[in-house]
Amino acid sequence: MDLIHSISENQETPQPFYLLDLGTVERLMHSWKHSLPTTKPFYTVKCSSNPALLAAVASLGANFNCASQAEIETILGLGVSPDRILYTNPCKAVSHIKYAASVGVNLTTFDSKGEIEKIKQWHPKCALLLRIKIANDHTSWRPLGTKFGVLPDEILPLLSEAHLSGLKGCVCGSFQFGMPPKQVLNIGGGFKDNSLFSEIGKTVNEAIKDMEAAATAPLSVMAEPGRFFAETVFTLVTNVFGNE
């Protein structure tokens, strides 16, 4: 509280501001590594692009989920290597695809044949993650099933199309089908820092073990946490100008 009062009193013009608790950021990363030790966190930049938060999670080993050229530029500006960036927009502008290719961001998501054609032409070295439509997500805080993802009967045709195009295709989502297990699984986001997180971790870890037992190649698992790292680390400090 003394720090807050000191900052407020030294402002020439009173303005609201946020305080970032770096200790909480560190605690959250510890919690993630404890509950999901084999799942790599790719922090969702659009959740909060506060420079201090981005620098903090980067220093703690997080990777990044970027949805645009501007977000990629921001993360690269922190000194983060491009192989720690997942380009998650499934419908990208050609200029952004060209930029990703030029800086070495070589992993992205897709959910359509048109996106395969664009990536083949402008970024043929890029590997693909197929985004699966989440069934029955109407109770989610941020339902994405109406915006992104493919239906079950579209999975094999699109993976085949990616293969024929010479691109490496994997699965992004939780879905099993009659193909050999892929090397990369992205379980998405939706995590919160609450009492359920450790239980969710146990369920996810058990599923990963089952998949690894059936896999014919090493399995790499990633996730896209956003609010897990951003929701509880900031405190808004503001001034009261009236009491009526």
CATH classification at residue 196: 3.20.20.10
Looking at the domain assignment, is residue 139 inside a domain?
Answer: no
| Residue 223 domain boundaries | 2-133+148-236
Looking at the domain assignment, is residue 142 inside a domain?
Answer: no
Place of tokens 């897990």: 228
Looking at the domain assignment, is residue 138 inside a domain?
Answer: no
Specify which residues 236 forms β-bridges with: 18
Query: 51 to each of 20, 32, 180, 183, 243, how far by Cα in Å?
Result: 11, 21, 41, 32, 34
User: The pTM is what?
Assistant: 0.86
pLDDT for the residue numbered 28: 97
Which pair of structure tokens corresponds to residue 230?
């951003």
Question: Mind listing the pLDDT tens digit for each residue in 189-226?
Answer: 989 999 899 999 999 999 999 988 887 778 899 999 99
Looking at the domain assignment, is residue 209 inside a domain?
Answer: yes
Looking at the domain assignment, is residue 242 inside a domain?
Answer: no
Average pLDDT, the chain: 86
Other CB atoms within 10 A of residue 180 CB: 9
Looking at the domain assignment, is residue 51 inside a domain?
Answer: yes
Looking at the domain assignment, is residue 45 inside a domain?
Answer: yes
pLDDT for the residue numbered 138: 55
Radius of gyration of the chain (CA): 20
How far is Cα 170 from Cα 129, in angstroms, rounded to an integer?
5
Number of compact structural domains in the chain: 1
Do 78 and 104 form a contact (C-beta atoms < 8 A)?
A: no
Looking at the domain assignment, is residue 141 inside a domain?
Answer: no
Percent of the chain with pLDDT over 90: 58
Lowest mean pLDDT among 33-37, 88-92, 103-107, 142-146: 142-146
pLDDT for the residue numbered 212: 87
pLDDT for the residue numbered 10: 67
Q: What share of the chain is helix, strand, coil (3-state, %, to 5)?
A: 40, 20, 40
Strands 39-44, 220-223: parallel, antiparallel or unpaired by DSSP?
A: parallel
Stretch 165-181: mean pLDDT, rounded?
55
Question: Mind listing the pLDDT tens digit for each residue in 153-164?
Answer: 898 899 888 888
How far is Cα 65 from Cα 46, in angstroms, rounded to an integer?
8
- Does pLDDT of 108 surpass 80? yes
Question: Mind listing the pLDDT tens digit for each residue in 39-67?
Answer: 999 999 999 999 999 999 999 999 999 99
